[in-house]
Every structure is written in C-alpha cells, then in structure tokens.
Amino acid sequence: MIDLGERIPDLPLALSSGKTAQLIDYAGRWLVLYFYPRDSTPGCTAEGLEFNALLARFGRRKAAVLGVSRDSLTSHRNFCARQGFAFDLVSDGDESLCRAFDVIHEKVLYGKRHLGVVRSTFLIAPDQTLARAWRNVKVAGHAQAVLDAIPSR
C-alpha cells in the first residue's frame, strides 16, 4: 500500500481511448485516480457523471481525471460512449493498479462474500507523490470534495 507522501509506482495504463500510458506521463500536474467496482452500475455511473460535470474545473487546476476498474477496454468504451465521459477509464484486468493502491478487499453482497474493488480515490501531486486518499467513498458530493482538495493556485 502506498502511504501519503510516498512516490507512486510507475505502472502502465490501458486507456479507454485506445492509447497506452504510464502513471509517470502525468508528472507535472495533479492526477485524480478514482477506483470503482464496475461499469454501468448505478453508483459507478453517478460517480463518473459527477467527475465529468466538474472536468473543466479540474482542468483549470491542472488536474487530469482517470477512472479505474477491472472491466475490459470494450466495456469502458461502451460506458464512456453511453455516459458521454470526456475523460479516460483505465482497464486494470491484471489488477496491478488495484493491488498497488490496495483497493481489493472482501465485500459482502446479498450475504455472499467476494473480493471486490472498494470505491476509493487517490490524489497524486505533480511530483508523483500521494497527496490524499479517500477510501470507502460515498458518491454524492465526492467529486467536489476531491476538486476542493486541489490548490487553485
């Protein structure tokens, strides 16, 4: 698990736009990395829509936004198209990002236990260190709280 103030690992990113990147490619600006359980579910859709609605304001603060789940690139592309997301989603099929940020934990759904992604957001500073972490996120108002944590210069 990455602690506050620690440098984040440089991991590869498979983006819904069809491009590939590395976390280091975002050096020099803020990066919001939000992890969510699954494409096209009510909470995940609401969360994505909240970030999308504030995207221009994130941009004015020199911040990029990336959503991360274990869904495939095809699923991400469809999700982005249906919802009109103007930011990339990252496919983490091998769970390397999820493991690096320690977001996979046991969950209980309808009385059954399973391992799943715990909704979490990480704010990475321009120097590639972890500036803030939100775990067990409640969707309503969360994107605004993340925006408020980024200095307005």
List residues with catalytic annotation. 44
Phi, psi angles (nearest 5°) of residue 93 = -60, -30
Transcribe 92-140 into DSSP letters: -TT-HHHHHTT-EEEEEETTEEEEEEPPEEEEE-TTSBEEEEEES--ST
- In the chain, the amino acid numbered 123 is L
| Conformation bin of residue 136: beta by default, left when phi > 0, alpha when psi is -120 to 50 | left
Specify the length of the chain in residues: 153
- Number of DSSP helices (H) and strands (E) in the chain, helices first: 5, 9
Integer Cα distance of 79 and 12 in angstroms: 21
Secondary structure (3-state) at 146: helix
